[in-house]
A and B are shown apart, each in its own frame.
Chain A
Amino acid sequence: MAHISNIHPRQCMIRTSRPQSASPTMTPVDAPRAFGADADSVKTGVFVRRRAEDGTRDDDAVARGTTRRPARRSDAPSFERVLKNEREFSREGRARACAAAWEDLDARCQAVADDAHGEAFRRVEDFVRRCGSEIGDGTTSVVGFDKVPSGVVLAGGVNSDDHEETFAALTRSLRRTGEAHCALLRSRDLKARGSGTGGGGLSVAFGVILRQLDRDGRHWGGKSMRAVRRWYAEASRETPETLGDVERGVDGGSPGPLAIRNVDDGNEEAIASGVGAKKRARGGMDSSAASPSTRRTRRRAAKENVVVDDEDDGDDDWFPIVRGKKCPVVIVVEDTESFDARVLDSFLRSISEYASRVPVVVLLGLATSVSSLQGMLPASTAALLDARAFQLWSPGRMMEAVQERVLLSPELAPAFGSEVLSLLHTRFKEHDFSLAAVRRALHLLTLTHFMTEPLSAVLPLLAKDVSEACADGEDSDDEYGDAIDQFVRSLGESELEYARMKHGIGRRDGEDSSHSNVRDDLCAALRDVYRLRRRWELSLRCIQVACVATEEKVKKIATTKLADLLLDASRTGYFSGVDAGPKGRGGPGDSLIKLACARVCDEFSTAEIGNVIKSMLKFLDDDEVMRSSEGSELRFLLSRIEEGAFNEVDAQLREAQAASATTVREYPTEDPKVAKLSEEEEKRRAIELLLANRKRRGGAGGGFSSAMTPGKTHNLTSDGGLVLPHSPVRGRSAPAPLAIADAPESEPSKALALVPRESMQSTAVSAAANEFCDILRAIARKYASRPPESLPASGIFVVTDVECVRAALQASPRLALENTLTDPSEILACSCCRFDNATARHRVPASLPDAALAYRLLARFGEQAPIYDWFQIFCECKSFGAARPGDINAARGTGTFGLPREKLWELQARFTRAVAELEFLGIARPYQKGRKRVEYMVRTAFPLDKLARDAHGSARPTERPLAIAER
């Protein structure tokens, strides 16, 4: 939500790739620790880091009229050696793999973001296009009806860095249509220019807009809507230009939508010496008729129009310049809530005044809701807006899409472990709601994994689809295996030893683990990674489909989401207990499967089961093994359902159920149809009734659903009758079917009397439901219970270390500062300054650094300290070790506080410096109380000593109560 940082990969690499305390022979286990230890105590996440514009130019580029492209993000970093004898090409391989992995991951996240906003952007474009067509018709020029077409773009979440990207993308998208002039307005553009509120802010706003709209710089000095009207009149009068008009030196494209830059004047000579500039001068743009400021602005405009040498990704920034036709001017206001209400009011009023002459469409970006805009604008101004609302994806929905489409994908290497996924999810939900922050964290995790895992160079091989056909016609599986074999063969001894020690590869019972064994096992483990991960993914999708179908059937509002399932199922053992017996204590996922099965048995008709099967088959068909085993079973079941093989049995069951439900207080008849029911069907019917009764009473019924499986039925029956040994005794609310079981066979009427009068559904527990549940359990047991983290050699391709994210992104600089000042012994590596020394809890050691000493004394005073008293105690502490009491008495009278003048002067200087340091650190500030000139030093933030003590769980004494109590 807030701007945390835009950490460039190079910055990360520079910061993290040289752990000073790490020795060259450092083991991979030590490396992350060293990374965390050597990170700056003031965490990098605190500061806003933006990539500086690459202002360097080479002469050739200037001569060509191009600027040099800044280094791309995907450039491979260079990694330090993590194994003792790690070879150079191995390190380079890791670096290349890292660059490729991050590029892939980033592209996937970006694709999600693009897809997320794609529909809303299209609707906005249609809206703008419609406004443009109305201009052509002249339908908007109604005198006295100056409504401004406006779109309220609701982002639905509070995070500014995502907003920045979203609205920049929206602006780009609108510009690329070539049907509108488009400008982006941000509140910080106004604040950065020192305008604040009032008319100045409005001038700056129009200046910013004109700088984006006017590519020639003729109207850059405009400060009002009148100037925009002048520009619009010129722009719509001009004849259309062909793109790339060399004669004017202005291309039909622009280097970027946000090119609101004040280019330094130092480069003007170089620009002026360029070919394009000379041509412009001859064309009259630099004629003497124009004032110096006009000429300067024109040069700046021309400079911004110099085309960037477009080789790879320049298409993203390209957009056509619209001239010679009347099309709307779209002003995108990125962060509407951050604007001053008066400026926004005047801005909209100004636009409204010219609505009939300059067709402006305002797109107001809102992070919260429309009500906040209502609160900002007066009703008279709000009435001027002809508003339409456009809802973007909320951040939570975006995150779900990233989890489902990116983090779950088997093509993504490395995979992310359960702890990492939980941390990302928690941070997202609780801290920032920012997808940009998630991407930064993913980047950091990827980088750290490749930096610390020596075998990570294999990951690009693991991200390939094994079943994908090769272009050369060879068997792709062989090629895939060969590539992995080749990688494993190329491993050196140190890498193999590392694989054996770290990942447990090659350890076999009763056999010495030789390198060949390690190679074989590693090869075997890595070959199956993609397949197993894909099956895991497909199984989760199948389970989610089944769960959602059952939840929708029982009209639950919140259905199981794949993102939540991913978080849960990535834990090892989540689905492990599906095949456990009735007494078995399975994993947490058991209850989910059991509940789904119970609902299928209770609520689903055979036809509905067929629909669920069809949905599941779409996923199962993607994998050959799953298709041939569970897929074929499901397909067989589906074919029988479609053929009506279960119809007869279901009809019988329904009939029997209906009869039993309606023949209350009736004696059973010797109906031949009922008599024909098999013994097993009778049991099933009884269980169904029991479940229905349970459910009616409020019980979930899920606990008994496992008993529906054919294999378990025998455990629940005894002596041919229905016995439910595990059902709890509930007194009056005991389940009714118990009466059926306990009732003597001679009195069937009593049993029937307790049958619920109202049946749950007209469905019946058919063999189809049983079979379906069996297959679903099998899918959960065989595939879903094997998350990536549980696979062999998972340490190579699964990121499990979250400490780097914690260390880098969860910064608490103030706490770190206060902790360090309170107890600098860790930093100084000395024992004399320890704070929690029980013997010296009330003593402030003189050996403390001056700043730490001053801070600790200040903490004793509480919220504020009188300077005089503070200095006096400081002198006492510092002179305690230097002079004996006798000496002080001897020197009494020679200076203030009984200290010799030289000593006092020295202490005064040191104290002044310490106080200045505290002030510089933002911990304290001077304060003068009243006219008495009593000076105090006030702690600028609340005292964290108590909280810090709680946070660390140590028994630090409270020297002074919290300041809040003293007020």
Chain B
Amino acid sequence: MREGYPSISDEIVDPIERDEDGFIANTCARWAGRERSIAALVKALGGSRDDGPAMYAHGPPVSGKTSIVREVMLRSERPHAFVSCATEHSARLLYEAIAEELTPYLMECSEFLREASAEQVKKAMKCDRYSDLVEILRTHLPASPSARACYVVVDEAQRMLQWRGEPVVSALLRLGELSCRKVIVIFIGEQGWDTFCSVAGTTPYEGVYFPAYSKDELRFILLRERPMDADEMMYNGFLGNMLGTFAATCRNLRELRATLTPLWMQYIKPYDAAIARGETPPEPRQLYAALNAKRAPAKVQDRANEREREGTTSRRDKPNVHTGLTVPLSAAALALGRGEWPVAQDVAGSGAGGRLDFEIPRLTKFLLLAAFLCSHNNDDVDKRLFGGQIEGHVARTSRTDRNAGERERAAAAEAAVDTRRVFKLERLIAWFHFITRSTCDEHGAEVADLEEELLSADVFMQISSMTQLGLLSINRGSAMEGGLYQCNVSRDLAEKLAQNLGVNLPTYLRYV
């Protein structure tokens, strides 16, 4: 049984009904910058015995929707079921979860459930379909007009739009009506209700909006969450510096927390060292300057990397504190998490000299390059490039139109930023052969066994591997029946591969 619900037989005093303003003030004290949203939510909830239509709390990610709704429901001690469509990823699981969450309250309300054995309770609460849920609610919830309302909170509601099959949104909106009980559904989602209108066919009674945190709100929240041993003034100065850099590109509290925690450790190091030496501690400005100070790499390998990096990036020194640190799962963020400092910013073409982050077979590199060219070049390019190799091919005569060249250049420029084309396996293999042989000829490599290798089963297995890894994808059809492939290789990776293999990519990349 869920703890916290007052007994049904007791005289229940609802905290909101008792002191609404105090309730709002207390909640706002915990959630900074959410005053308007909290007040709107509490007012929309109304009295504990009031019946009403569904509600919808919406706003951008990490704006406190879920946490605030959950806390309001818990502190108000109103019976509720809290389910998330991220976890309950199908209608059946959702109904089952609602029934499971409401079980403690229903056992309080229903005499039958209180006296039944565990097996009987399990059987009575079995909920596979919507009708089961309606029946459970109708059977076990009190029907008296003075009964308390029961709330069903559905988090990540926008995911329901992707579910195929029964219309879950509209069904949940009619839950109270069909069960003839006071059941209020609260949806929580990121988009506005407009996205649900076509599916639900109705508009919720109340919409509560949770805006994104402003810079000051972020600073206030982060300052309150500072480490236990951190001085408030110093941490405030640290936040001022950091938010000045990060707030323009990142207002996600999770990302900021993840970045600021290890950064603070680096930031405070000179301060602690000075204190330990008995010297005058440096000022925040000096600490920030120390954080951005460059350190000379120690190893020979690092020096070499540094030299290579200098060749590809601008000569101007970039600060160590950069926006790339807040990008989740980026190489910089991971390195910072490991305690490395300074962390270089991820720049395009970081694999200087065609060095890749991972190892792939040589023929696979050619395959990926071929796929990239297939997806960026028009079919006409094939005829021009391969025409000389094909017997009986007659080259097209020269153009008579004077503006044709310009038009072609414009089309190429347009195609360079345009979508990628799908291609057949035959075309991929033809390009693969063409590039591989051309490169081997250019480099004077031995081509004795090359032809047989190019036709070996390994090549086709490597295509399969690339498809598994997501570097290629089958757009239409299946691989067995001549499906169309799509290349997911980025331009950066293609350029690295070309550099690695010694292929002059612009020679082949004609677009049209």
Contacts and interface: CB of A to CB of B under 8 A. Distances in A.
Interface string A542-553: 000000000010
Contact of B453 (A1, A338, A430): A430
B108 to A, nearest CB: 22
Contacts of B71: 143
Given A143-B67, A387-B337, A433-B360, A811 B468 contact: no
Name, among A367, A961, A965, the residue most crowded by chain B CB atoms within 10 Å (CB to CB). A965
Contact of A947 (B86, B254, B433, B482): B433
A812 interface: yes
A940 B300 CA distance: 53
Name, among A145, A350, A813, A942, the residue most crowded by chain B CB atoms within 10 Å (CB to CB). A942
Contacts of B464: 2
Interface in B135-157: 156
10 closest Cβ pairs, A-B complex: A2-B461, A942-B426, A382-B328, A951-B451, A349-B86, A369-B357, A144-B67, A157-B359, A199-B89, A812-B456
Given A158-B361, A925-B482, A944 B455 contact: yes
A225 B359 contact: no
B330 A2 contact: no
Nearest to B379: A967
B338 A388 contact: yes
A402 to B, nearest CB: 15
Nearest to A815: B455
B468 A338 contact: yes
A350 B363 CA distance: 39
A592 interface: no
B293 interface: no
Interface stretch (B38-46, B268-276, B388-396, B402-410): B388-396
A353 interface: yes
B469 A337 contact: yes
B29 interface: no
Given A143-B67, A557-B301, A346 B86 contact: yes
Contact of B425 (A145, A152, A941, A963): A941
Nearest to A557: B304
B23 to A, nearest CB: 18
Interface string A1-45: 111100000000000000000000000000000000000000101
B386 A158 contact: no
Interface in A581-601: none
Given A152-B329, A552-B300, 18 more contacts: A1-B462, A337-B468, A349-B86, A352-B86, A367-B469, A368-B469, A372-B470, A379-B255, A387-B329, A394-B358, A431-B462, A432-B361, A815-B455, A941-B426, A942-B426, A947-B451, A951-B451, A963-B426
A782 interface: no
A338 B470 contact: yes
B61 interface: yes
Contact of B469 (A158, A377, A811, A965): A158
A951 B87 contact: no
B392 to A, nearest CB: 5
Contacts of A1: 360-361, 364, 461-462, 465
Looking at chain B's contact residues, is the secondary structure mostly helix, strand, loop, or mixed?
Answer: helix
A180 interface: no
Interface in A346-398: 346, 349-350, 352-354, 367-374, 376-377, 379-380, 382-389, 394-396
A811 B456 contact: yes
Contacts of B470: 337-338, 372, 376
Interface of A: 1-4, 43, 45-46, 143-145, 147, 152, 154-160, 187, 198-199, 202-203, 223-226, 289, 335, 337-338, 346, 349-350, 352-354, 367-374, 376-377, 379-380, 382-389, 394-396, 429-433, 552, 555, 557, 810-815, 922, 925, 938, 940-942, 944, 947-948, 950-951, 958, 961-965, 967
Given A353-B86, A384-B254, A431 B457 contact: no
B469 to A, nearest CB: 4
Contacts of A380: 61-62, 252
Name, among B89, B90, B330, B337, the residue most crowded by chain A CB atoms within 10 Å (CB to CB). B89
B219 interface: no
A501 B304 CA distance: 56
B362 interface: yes
A158 B482 CA distance: 25
B93 A226 contact: yes
B129 interface: no
B254 A383 contact: yes
Contacts of B61: 380
A431 B258 contact: no
A552 B304 CA distance: 13
Given A557-B300, A941-B426, A964-B386, A147 B254 contact: yes
Name, among A43, A371, A394, the residue most crowded by chain B CB atoms within 10 Å (CB to CB). A371
Nearest to A558: B304
A548 to B, nearest CB: 12
Contacts of B300: 552, 555, 557
B125 interface: no
B73 to A, nearest CB: 13
Nearest to A42: B457
B111 interface: no
Contact of B455 (A147, A430, A951): A951
Contacts of B370: none
Nearest to A2: B461
Name, among A144, A198, A384, the residue most crowded by chain B CB atoms within 10 Å (CB to CB). A144
27 contacts: A2-B458, A143-B71, A160-B465, A160-B468, A187-B468, A199-B163, A224-B97, A225-B87, A353-B86, A371-B331, A374-B328, A376-B470, A380-B252, A383-B62, A384-B254, A389-B334, A394-B359, A395-B359, A396-B359, A925-B482, A941-B425, A941-B429, A942-B425, A947-B433, A962-B430, A965-B383, A965-B387
Contact of B258 (A154, A386, A961): A386
Contacts of A430: 361-363, 453
Nearest to B357: A369
Interface in B220-269: 252, 254-255, 257-258
B162 interface: yes
Contacts of A353: 84, 86-87
B473 to A, nearest CB: 11
B359 A965 contact: no
Name, among B329, B358, B451, B470, the residue most crowded by chain A CB atoms within 10 Å (CB to CB). B329
Contacts of A372: 469-470
A814 B468 contact: no
B455 A814 contact: yes
B119 interface: yes
B358 A226 contact: no
Contacts of A433: 359-361
Contacts of A815: 452, 455-456
Contacts of A938: 482
Interface in B45-64: 61-62, 64
B115 interface: no
B481 interface: yes
A929 to B, nearest CB: 15
A431 B361 contact: yes
Given A158-B469, A226-B97, A555-B300, A948 B359 contact: no
B391 to A, nearest CB: 5
Nearest to B356: A369
Nearest to B469: A337
Nearest to A818: B455
Contact of B93 (A224, A354, A940): A224
Interface string B411-431: 000000000000001110110
Contacts of A335: 468-469
Contacts of A337: 468-470
Contacts of A203: 89-90
A338 B329 CA distance: 18
Contacts of B162: 198
Nearest to B254: A383
Interface string B342-371: 000000000000000111111110000000
